[in-house]
Structure 1
Amino acid sequence: MTFSLRSRALAAIVSVCSIAVLATGCGTGNTGIDTSEASTNQIITANITEPSNGLLSGNTSDMSGWKIVSQLYDGLVTFDTKGNEELVQAKSITPNTDASGYTIKLKPSLKFSNGEKITASTYARSWSFAANAANGQVGASIFEDIKGYDDLQDANGDKNAQLSGLDVVDDSTLKVTLKEPNSAFAYKLGDIAFLPVPSQALKDPKTYGLKPVGNGPYKLKEWKSGEEIVLERDKNYKGPRKVKNAGIDFKVYQSLDAAYSDLLAGNLDTLDSIPTSALKTYRDEKNITAISKDGPSFSDLTIPQNLKHFQGKEGVLRRRAIAHALDRESIAKAIFDGTVTPAADFLAPVIKGYDPKLGADALSYNKDKAKKLWSQADAISPWDGTFRIAYSADGTDKEWVEAAANSLGNVLDIKAESYPFATSKELRSAIQDRTIGAAFKSGMSSDYPHPEGYLVQAYDSASADGKGLNNGDYKSARFDALINQAAKQTDLDKAIGIYQESEKVLIEDLPVIPLWYTNVTAACAKGVHVDYNYMGVPEYNTVTK
């Protein structure tokens, strides 16, 4: 996701662009992709962890689910590597004069793989279902710009209630009325929650999530929980993505180390992330092709607002102390071998608006400052207990979590320790249920290349309380007001300036401690060709061997 956003106001999107290969990646260095029959008949094997939820776009909260859902569905738009929006199912997306409303025109003859037509009504029903709190979708808050969203936030309300800001003019025309002007809305349409789903999904979402019916280049063939998720090429797919293989066999691993071992043994074609234990050596392995490139991933240490000793003024002081007590530079070098860069703001270097000076002082490693701030917090309420950092044993976080706990314990003279969960699914459930009772790593790699994708989704009050990705439940009227002000700016450069002001509020409050930006570190077997998309994820439909 190497983006540089367009430095002008969003205009009507009228050209029809196909999805191109978005980045050079793992492979033999040839520029062409093998389109032989031998290649298109091959099943590609790839790694994954068990998705936290079913495969329903509005309820997708983790990268594992994103990988699958993004192959099963096409949406209105996607993005190229420069952050330019490309139309997929949309023929045009036209804002009104102040970006308080949009007219979306669909391409003709759109269908799901079961033959059900995709019309403006399909999109209106899908979005309303996902936005409605009664349906309990984790992606609900992405729709909060649309008029009528607030009326659907009763968890005990009518599950079939619709967003009043959606007007179906005819089968190919959907008019969207926003609560307030938002020039970023056309970008937000690239978020996975905006994907269309068939009518059966709304009748029985839980069952549907296990056997989804999409409109993308692949269909779900089989899901063996804890073992594999197998996708097969949809031979009737008419969309713009060209499929160069017969399907993807996503193998579920309990750890990246196990997946990496399979890659080295020739039992896996592509691995999207290298375990920390191999970062120093994977580039030297002879039977794989290694890759390291800039990516869009921002990681942080989230400390829930309801955690004991982390509320009010005391909480702010302790968060600031932790920011100074965490030796992120040493962790980046010793554990990640330079494949991560300590974060200086709440975006990512590839997103316009990124400012490395923003958090330089607040995030610097300074033991004296850390001890002083912690002592000031103790004057309000003496510290007791253990500071815990949660992580999943099937992921890659154990080493850095233990290093971070050691750093905090030594500097602040407190008991700090790691808090492992067996699987990422269990960890995610504890975070979503607000039962975790500990700090945990979170982060952003937005579905759409705009500062709003990082800031609103993770810190706006509307995204708290399980309605979005504000997993620490941070709420700030100052921050919300600046975000709302930025949304009204039709000049992107002016909007960026206000987004940066909102980041200054985050630096003061530190609802999360920015950790680092992560490079795309991946590998594939020799003879396998992999390209990477704007999210830094393999472009699975173009993988060949």
Structure 2
Amino acid sequence: MRLSRRTRLAGVALVAAASLTLAACGGDSGDDSSSSDQVITVDGSEPQNPLVPSSTNETGGGNVIDELYAGLVAYKADGSTVNEVADSIESEDNKTWTVKLKDWEFSDGSKVTADSFVKAWSYGAFIDNAQLNAYFYYPIAGTNDEGNSETPELSGLKVVDEKTFTITLKQAEADFPARLGYSAFFPLPDAAFGSDGKVTKEFGENPITNGPYKMDGEGAWEHDTQIRLVPNEKYDGERKPENGGLTFKFYTDLDAAYTDVQAGNLDVLKTVPDSALTTFESDENVQPVSEPGSVFQSFTIPQSMPGFGSDEEGKLRRQAISLAINREEITDKIFNGTRTPAKDFSSPLMPGFNEDIEGSEVLSFDPEKAKQLWAQADEIKKFNGKFQIGYNGDGGHQAWVDAVSNQLKNNLGIQASGKSYPTFDELRKDVTDRTIKIAFRTGWQPDYPSIYNYLAPVYGTGAGSNDGDYSNKQFDDLINQAAGAQDEDERYKLYSDAQAVLMQDLPAIPTWYTNIAAASAKGVNNVEFNWQNLPEYHKLTK
């Protein structure tokens, strides 16, 4: 959106009014039998880390954190932005922003102040704290290219008074406020910090929060089993719970989760297993949800993987791998049309989406060209290894990984297979620790509705979610220019130019966009899915 010289973000829609609202038919919302005291059970996965916003960049923890905390702004189901903790966010030049807060409390009754935000963000950016979301602070003055600050206090943040603080950016960025609903920008109470200035392990296990829900007392997080949340009576924002609480139940087998939905033992399952994709919409035991979606799927090939580096050999092999995959066949036969073959590195639901990126023909199926490129790479150095794709066995990924592996074997004549990790947490640990030596499945559930979010945190040099350690100065420069572009059309063109670089380098192999294919149990009402492919948890009743 275009912002005038003097901008006031007060319920301004980030996406056009014509964009899709992902509303699903989850029962009669006017049913008088719905009860606000009923706890809703939803599927989830064991968080990789303690529940601290700046150290959580995966969905297992992220989906829980989004219900526990409230940021300066919040996102509605269609991706439009409304002020939440912020009373106003203003700027004369789109570079220095003044934030004024509403009266707000944490779940323990302590005040949410300007210092609650400044201290939390400074903690997230301080390099000694090694927070996974540090890259999101990159636009703020005082950070380096990875979003890290060399000092505990971030120079671009200043507390003016108890309810006012300023944010000074490195350059003018008109859409910066729209990012402030992402979890990296949530506040923390003083009780989060120990005497050494670091967030304590105890806080991460049972955090004090300011969002629509809070932890259900000591022991609410039963590791590898579930996390129990209850409504936060101190919350006075846009997402007031209409239910009696949420329980995120952790499943290692989606088929078992679907069986629980059919039996009424699980209220909402956000991803239907492959085995039910052809039948769930006609299954009389569930309420099906099928809508367009915004989640991007891929598999990442680490830059350190032999034969797949940033040199000419590596680029040829990556392009050959991509061209050898028949995405149409897999999305049709395995996913029953509930996935859409990827045309770029973002999502068709994002403003500025372009399906004609320069070089995007590398995402088409062309086995002959794939063989030619692989042969050219072999002329540089013969490949005698085995290509493997790591995936989490609890996420329903085996079928497509096996299909991709078979296509690579048939179309390139190489050894290819999948490698299953029992849980998402175990896969992510190897990825984060950089102990994984093979390709691995990746995906992106957007943090805020912008193409920038699909690109910068994932492929920017040193970015916290740059799991393959990709680095290209041309890409970084284009993304930086896009962030500073004051004209919307110019910004979208720069996104396309940046993606053209990715099409050449292929740090990850785009596969498909995940449509919403979900199910709820009979008797569950107000099932509405949002721009993140997630239920509007606070609206669910039964």
TM-score by length of 1: 0.93
Question: Once the 2 structures are TM-superposed, how far is the Cα of residue 520 of structure 1 from its aligned partner?
Answer: 0.9
**Pick from 516, 519, 523: which aligns with 1:520?**
516
Task: Judge conservation of contact 2:90–2:98 (CA < 8 Å) in 1.
Answer: yes
1:532 aligns with 2:529: yes
Task: Name 2:180's counterpart in structure 1.
Answer: 189
Taking a change above 3 Å as real, the CA distance of residues 364 and 524 of structure 1, as seen in their structure-2 partners, is same
Question: Once the 2 structures are TM-superposed, how far is the Cα of residue 35 of structure 1 from its aligned partner?
Answer: 7.3
Question: Once the 2 structures are TM-superposed, how far is the Cα of residue 201 of structure 1 from its aligned partner?
Answer: 2.0
Listed as ranges, the matches of 1:194-209 within 5 Å are 194-203=185-194, 204-209=199-204
Name the CA distance, whole Å, in 1 between partners of 2:233 and 2:91: 35
Aligned to 2:117, what secondary structure does the other structure show?
helix
1:179 aligns with 2:179: no
Task: Judge conservation of contact 1:393–1:422 (CA < 8 Å) in 2.
Answer: yes
Which amino acid in structure 1 is aligned with residue 347 of structure 2? Answer: A
Question: Once the 2 structures are TM-superposed, how far is the Cα of residue 519 of structure 1 from its aligned partner?
Answer: 0.4
Task: Name 1:3's counterpart in structure 2.
Answer: none
Task: Name 2:160's counterpart in structure 1.
Answer: 169
Question: Once the 2 structures are TM-superposed, how far is the Cα of residue 192 of structure 1 from its aligned partner?
Answer: 1.2
Question: Once the 2 structures are TM-superposed, how far is the Cα of residue 146 of structure 1 from its aligned partner?
Answer: 0.6
Task: Judge conservation of contact 2:341–2:512 (CA < 8 Å) in 1.
Answer: yes
Taking a change above 3 Å as real, the CA distance of residues 406 and 76 of structure 1, as seen in their structure-2 partners, is same
1:498 aligns with 2:497: no
1:541 aligns with 2:538: yes
Which amino acid in structure 2 is aligned with residue 378 of structure 1? Answer: D
Name the CA distance, whole Å, in 2 between partners of 1:45 and 1:429: 27
**Pick from 224, 227, 244: which aligns with 1:226?**
224
Question: Once the 2 structures are TM-superposed, how far is the Cα of residue 235 of structure 1 from its aligned partner?
Answer: 2.6
1:136 aligns with 2:134: no
Task: Name 1:113's counterpart in structure 2.
Answer: 107
Name the CA distance, whole Å, in 2 between partners of 1:93 and 1:35: 40
Task: Name 1:346's counterpart in structure 2.
Answer: 345
Name the CA distance, whole Å, in 1 between partners of 2:430 and 2:82: 37
Task: Name 1:102's counterpart in structure 2.
Answer: 97
1:406 aligns with 2:406: yes
Question: Once the 2 structures are TM-superposed, how far is the Cα of residue 284 of structure 1 from its aligned partner?
Answer: 1.3
- Listed as ranges, the gaps of 5+ residues in structure 1 are 1-5
Greater Cα shift, 121-130 or 173-182: 173-182
Question: Once the 2 structures are TM-superposed, how far is the Cα of residue 542 of structure 1 from its aligned partner?
Answer: 0.9
Taking a change above 3 Å as real, the CA distance of residues 479 and 227 of structure 1, as seen in their structure-2 partners, is same
Taking a change above 3 Å as real, the CA distance of residues 64 and 154 of structure 1, as seen in their structure-2 partners, is closer
Which amino acid in structure 1 is aligned with residue 139 of structure 2? Answer: D
Deviations 1:329-351 (A, max 9, x none): 11111110000011011110001
Greater Cα shift, 38-47 or 416-425: 38-47
Deviations 1:169-189 (A, max 9, x none): 111111111122222311221
Aligned to 2:343, what secondary structure does the other structure show?
coil
Taking a change above 3 Å as real, the CA distance of residues 456 and 116 of structure 1, as seen in their structure-2 partners, is same
Task: Judge conservation of contact 1:184–1:450 (CA < 8 Å) in 2.
Answer: no
Name the CA distance, whole Å, in 2 between partners of 1:489 and 1:133: 28
Greater Cα shift, 340-349 or 62-71: 62-71
Which amino acid in structure 2 is aligned with residue 319 of structure 1? Answer: R
Aligned to 1:361, what secondary structure does the other structure show?
helix
| Runs of 4+ residues deviating >6 angstroms | 151-155
Deviations 1:498-536 (A, max 9, x none): 111111111111111111111011110111011222312
For the aligned residues, what is the CA RMSD?
2.1
Deviations 1:374-428 (A, max 9, x none): 1111111110211000001111111100110111111111110101111100000
Question: Once the 2 structures are TM-superposed, how far is the Cα of residue 493 of structure 1 from its aligned partner?
Answer: 1.5
Task: Name 1:255's counterpart in structure 2.
Answer: 253
Task: Name 2:325's counterpart in structure 1.
Answer: 326
Name the CA distance, whole Å, in 1 between partners of 2:86 and 2:185: 12
1:243 aligns with 2:241: yes
Task: Name 2:435's counterpart in structure 1.
Answer: 435
1:459 aligns with 2:450: no
Taking a change above 3 Å as real, the CA distance of residues 351 and 166 of structure 1, as seen in their structure-2 partners, is same
Name the CA distance, whole Å, in 2 between partners of 1:10 and 1:444: 33
Task: Name 1:375's counterpart in structure 2.
Answer: 375
Question: Once the 2 structures are TM-superposed, how far is the Cα of residue 82 of structure 1 from its aligned partner?
Answer: 4.6
Name the CA distance, whole Å, in 1 between partners of 2:444 and 2:8: 27
Listed as ranges, the matches of 1:14-33 within 5 Å are 14-15=9-10, 23-28=22-27, 30=28, 32-33=29-30
Question: Once the 2 structures are TM-superposed, how far is the Cα of residue 151 of structure 1 from its aligned partner?
Answer: 9.8
Deviations 1:16-51 (A, max 9, x none): 689xxx7532422x3x45577x61111111111111
**Pick from 294, 305, 308: which aligns with 2:306?**
308
Name the CA distance, whole Å, in 2 between partners of 1:207 and 1:110: 24
Task: Judge conservation of contact 1:132–1:152 (CA < 8 Å) in 2.
Answer: no
Aligned to 2:395, what secondary structure does the other structure show?
coil
Listed as ranges, the matches of 1:37-76 within 5 Å are 39-76=35-72
Greater Cα shift, 136-145 or 351-360: 351-360
Taking a change above 3 Å as real, the CA distance of residues 60 and 372 of structure 1, as seen in their structure-2 partners, is same
Aligned to 1:150, what secondary structure does the other structure show?
coil
Task: Judge conservation of contact 1:321–1:370 (CA < 8 Å) in 2.
Answer: yes
Which amino acid in structure 2 is aligned with residue 328 of structure 1? Answer: R
Taking a change above 3 Å as real, the CA distance of residues 138 and 283 of structure 1, as seen in their structure-2 partners, is same
Task: Name 1:278's counterpart in structure 2.
Answer: 276
Taking a change above 3 Å as real, the CA distance of residues 442 and 9 of structure 1, as seen in their structure-2 partners, is farther
Name the CA distance, whole Å, in 1 between partners of 2:43 and 2:147: 37
Task: Judge conservation of contact 2:79–2:530 (CA < 8 Å) in 1.
Answer: no
Task: Judge conservation of contact 1:184–1:452 (CA < 8 Å) in 2.
Answer: no
